[in-house]
Structure formats: C-alpha cells, structure tokens
Chain A
Amino acid sequence: MFSDFDFNVIWRALPYMLQEGLVFTLTLTALATAGGIVLGTLLALMRLSSLPFLPQIAAGYVNTMRSLPLVLVIFWFYFLVPYIGQWVLQSDRPIAVGAFASSLITFTLFEAAYFSEIMRAGIQSISRGQLMAGYALGLNYRQVMGSVILPQAFRNMAPVLLTQTIVLFQDTSLVYVLSIPDFLGAASKVAQRDGRLVEMYLFAAAGYFLISFTASTLVKRLQRRIAIIR
C-alpha cells in the first residue's frame, strides 16, 4: 500500500488545499464561532430571564438543535434555505444561497445551542452578589450584564468556548456532504481526480490533527493561567 506512496501528489495539491480548502474551513469556523457565541449568549440570557415565555422558547430551541444530527441539519438548511428565502422575500424562484452562506447559517444556528449552554453555565458561575452589587451601584439589567456578568462569564468559560470551537473546526468537515471544497472536500477532490486516496486522506488527517492538537494545547495553557487568576 505504501510502496508507491508519492509525496509529489501532496506537494502539487498543496496550494489548492491551503488557499481553497483550509481558508474555507478556517473562515467558516471563525465566523460560525463568532455568530454562535453572540446568538448563544442571547439564548442563555433568554433562558435565565424571569420574563414569561423567553426561557421556554430558548430551551425549546436548544433542545431541538441538540437532538438533531448535524448532517441532517446541514442537508436540511442547504435545500430549504432557498425556499425559505423565496417565501420571506415573496420572489418567484427559490433564491440562490451560496454553499458558504448556507453552511455558515447552519453552523451558526447549530453551534449557538451548544454555546448557549456554555454561556448559561458561565453566567450562573458568577455569584449573585455581583449582580446585586451592580444594581446597587445604579446600573440597569443591560449594563450589569454587559459590564459585570458577561465579561466574567466569558473569562471563566474561555477554555470551554475554545474547546467547543475546536470541535466546531472538526465538524465543519461535514460540509463534505454538500460537495463543498473545504479542507477535507478539497483533499477528496484531488484524491479522486488523481486516484491518490491514501496520500490525500492521510494528508487531510494530518492537517486536522496538527491544527486541533496545537489549538487544544494552547487552550490547556490558557486554562492554567485563568485558574491562577481566580
């Protein structure tokens, strides 16, 4: 199997793999993380709210998303978003949503459910005294959350948020089912074109491993530093 292992295949595919595949994967990861954390934080605030209905709506959303397989959601959104767009915009034809936009929306909505659980734990880890101290100093809910509770919750939860981001980075490879040239998709394309499955899939695996392992090592280091401060 390794007798005709050809490094040149990888070498030739490298520019395409990095410029197309890796850039897509990293961009998707970064944007979906940002969107997921923003949406997830809002969901966490809804879930912890004392107003009527908001906690139930947020809990319903989170539980639904967490009960569905990601591949299903990816498929579902890819084929349904154009029709939802058509219905929303009242146009004659399904609107064209690019593969990138579709997968970004999917991952943002899906990861928001997970990020919201992390942020909920983070907010609950801050003692009620902090909330009361904020109110007693003349701040309203929005200000107390924005400048007292959330900054601390983010700091406490930073390692967990980043770990979830690494999971997200690996999960983005599922856009493969949409034939999108992400890092894995690009490897697969070259592999099938050149008939070099072993080289290309090994290379893809090494790429994912290297990035994920480096990132989780850095997260561990960060965790240790935060533990000292607290």
Chain B
Amino acid sequence: MLSIEALSHTYGALTALTEIDLEVAAGEVVCLLGPSGCGKSTLLRLAAGLEPLQQGRVRLAGEIVGEPRFTVPPERRRVGMVFQDFALFPHLTVAQNIAFGLADLPKAEQQSIARLWVERIGLADLAGAFPHTLSGGQQQRVALARALAPSPRLVLMDEPFSGLDVTLRDRLRDTTLALLTEARVATLLVTHDPDEAMRMADRIVLMQAGRIEQAGQPLDLYDHPVSAFAAAFFGSVTILKAHAENGQVVTDLGRFDVPVQSGPVTMIVRQEALHRALEGGVMATVAAARSLGREHLLSLMLGATAVTARWVEGRLPKVGERIPVTLDRHRVHLFPPEG
C-alpha cells in the first residue's frame, strides 16, 4: 500500500534520512523503531506529505504521491494520522471530532458514521463531551477513531501511546490493534519503545541516525540482531569487550565463535542469558542484588567479568553468595566493533 523508495532528507547541513526503502502492505502493522532523533518522525511526516520531499519517491497503492518537485497534498492522500499529543480539536465534541474528516459526505451520513465509531471505541455516552473532559486513554481512542473514520488507505501513528500511563498502554495497544485489523488498513507506527514494537508490529524497521539498521519480524530482530546497536536496543544488556584469535574469543563466560578472524569484538549479553544451573554450571558471585518484585536484578561476577542478570527464580540471593549459573548462548551476540 505504502512504498518508499530511496528516500533521503536533510535539514540544512544536517542529514535526517539516508536512502530509506520501506514497504507497508494493506492490513500490515509496521513499526518504525529507534532512539529519538533517528529520523523516524521525519519519515512519517514525509509519508503523510506534511513536508516536501527532497529525494526519493513515495507511492500509495502504486500511485506516486511524492517526488522532488511533485507532491500530492496531505488532504488528498487519504492517509489517517494519530499524533503523540492526539491533536484533538478542543472546540469540537467527540462526535464532531470523529466526523471532521467526513466533510464530503451528507450530514446524516457523517452523523451515523460518527455514532458507529463512538460505539466501537466504547465512548457512546461521551459523544457530546469536549476533549478536555476526557482521560488520556479516551482521548487516544477518539484520535484513532477520527483517523479511521474516513476509511484511509494508510494510518500513520506518531508515538500514539507515549503520553499515557503504563497500565493503560497495554490495554489500549490491544484495542488499537483490534481496530486496525478490523479496518484492514496499512499502518506505520513510530515508537522509541522496543516493547511496544514487539507487541504491535507485524514487522519492525529499526532505525539509527537516519538509516535503516535492520528490518524484519519482531522475533527475528530479537534473536538475530545484525549489530551491537540492534542487539542492545531491545532490552537491557551487558556490553563486554573481548579479543578474537583464530575466529574465537575466550572469556570468563566461555568460548565463542566469532565472525572475525582476530581483533577486538563487542560482546552483548542479554539480561535473561543467565539462569541458575540445575546441575553443573559455573559458580558466580553475587556482587549486587535488587528485587524488582516479580524478578530480581543481579550483578554477577564470573571470574573478573561483571554481568547483569534478570533472575526470575526463587528468593533474592544475598550479596557475596555463590550460585551455579548456566549461560543461554542464543542470548549472547558478538560483533566486530562498529565503524
């Protein structure tokens, strides 16, 4: 549905995006994931047509909507947008907000579509309320309904959950996903939160410094990161420096094959890589321990190497205690140094 080809963008001397290629199929949810300032929001605005395109091409359903010196204005792209601050119109009621994008239809039809949507998002009682009287979660749902009501071909969402508190987020992600699936609309969602991307995306496009670092299915990115950045971005890790010789590194954690013959390597150890060994294993000393409630965060010394571990089993170990651990080698990633 959406297809972006060889798109580059600069702000003066600052390069915002370099050679981006991206596809979103109808009914698919693609997450643009990356740290702030990586260019993901710029890419979203370019897809919407809210900024003129400098280099590359944007197509919607095969038709070119953006090229250098040619642009279909956003109002004629049939693209829905959900903004981080929702951007609800404060002078209009919930129903009027939802009906806002339906100006081409007769009044009666606008009203019946708006009524359908307020019911679908569970706010039928609040159809006549003004946005400032709603909670953050309700506002988010109104923003989503407003974007979906004109049946767009593509929905663009810019950090749609980041203004909400944590307990609400999970519920709203499910509701949102259900509504998007029901509408069978192509969705491009921008987020800096890897958990959110893992939860929502059919495909994740991980960005860094204006480039696509890695794209693929969520679990693929988690299990097979292509770089130390990609590995470290999903969840907390311990980053260790090691030295390869004859295609191997020998560390306090064991012996690993590496993709370089010799030289320095970066070793990424995920927090869930270490488990209590039921038999065998190596002895680790607990250097620090803190309970997070349902799990514990331990700093473990293996020889001279400190590794952070997310401990899900049993009671909170004491500092200085020695416990046998095993290492899940799938949760350890090795890369040649960046650059």
Residues of chain A whose beta carbon lies under 8 Å from any beta carbon of chain B: 127, 129-130, 132-140, 143, 147-148, 151-152, 155, 229-230
CA distance A152 to B88 in the complex (A): 12
6 pairs from A and B in contact (CB 8 Å cutoff): A132-B48, A133-B81, A135-B75, A136-B48, A151-B91, A230-B132
8 Å CB contacts to A: which residues of B187-237?
A: none
Of A137, A151, A155, which contacts B150 at CB under 8 A? A137
8 Å CB contacts to A: which residues of B117-176?
A: 132, 146-147, 150, 156
Apart from A130-B89, A136-B74, A137-B100: 6 A-B pairs, beta carbons within 8 A = A129-B85, A132-B83, A132-B87, A133-B146, A138-B101, A140-B75
What is the chain B residue whose CB lies nearest that of A137? B101
Of A129, A139, A143, A155, which contacts B83 at CB under 8 A? A129
Taking a contact as CB atoms under 8 Å apart, the answer to whether B103 and A138 are in contact is: yes
Taking a contact as CB atoms under 8 Å apart, the answer to whether B87 and A127 are in contact is: yes
A residues within 8 A CB of B80?
A: 136-137
Taking a contact as CB atoms under 8 Å apart, the answer to whether B74 and A127 are in contact is: no
CA distance A83 to B251 in the complex (A): 96
Q: Which of B80, B83, B85, B87 has the most CB of A within 10 A?
A: B87
CA distance A32 to B78 in the complex (A): 42
A52 to chain B, nearest CB (A): 16
Taking a contact as CB atoms under 8 Å apart, the answer to whether B83 and A133 are in contact is: yes
Whether B263 sits at the interface, judged by CB under 8 Å, is no
A139 to chain B, nearest CB (A): 6
Q: Which of A130, A135, A230 has the most CB of B within 10 A?
A: A135
Residues of chain B whose beta carbon lies under 8 Å from any beta carbon of chain A: 45, 48, 50, 73-76, 78-81, 83, 85, 87-91, 100-101, 103-104, 132, 146-147, 150, 156
Taking a contact as CB atoms under 8 Å apart, the answer to whether A138 and B78 are in contact is: yes
Of A137, A139, A143, A148, which contacts B146 at CB under 8 A? A137
Taking a contact as CB atoms under 8 Å apart, the answer to whether A133 and B87 are in contact is: yes
B residues within 8 A CB of A151?
A: 91
B residues within 8 A CB of A130?
A: 87, 89
Of B87, B104, B146, B147, which contacts A129 at CB under 8 A? B87
A135-B50 contact in complex given A148-B89, A152-B90, A152-B91, C-beta closer than 8 Å: yes
A216 to chain B, nearest CB (A): 25
What is the chain A residue whose CB lies nearest that of B75? A138
What is the chain A residue whose CB lies nearest that of B88? A133
CA distance A152 to B79 in the complex (A): 24
A residues within 8 A CB of B104?
A: 138
B132 to chain A, nearest CB (A): 7
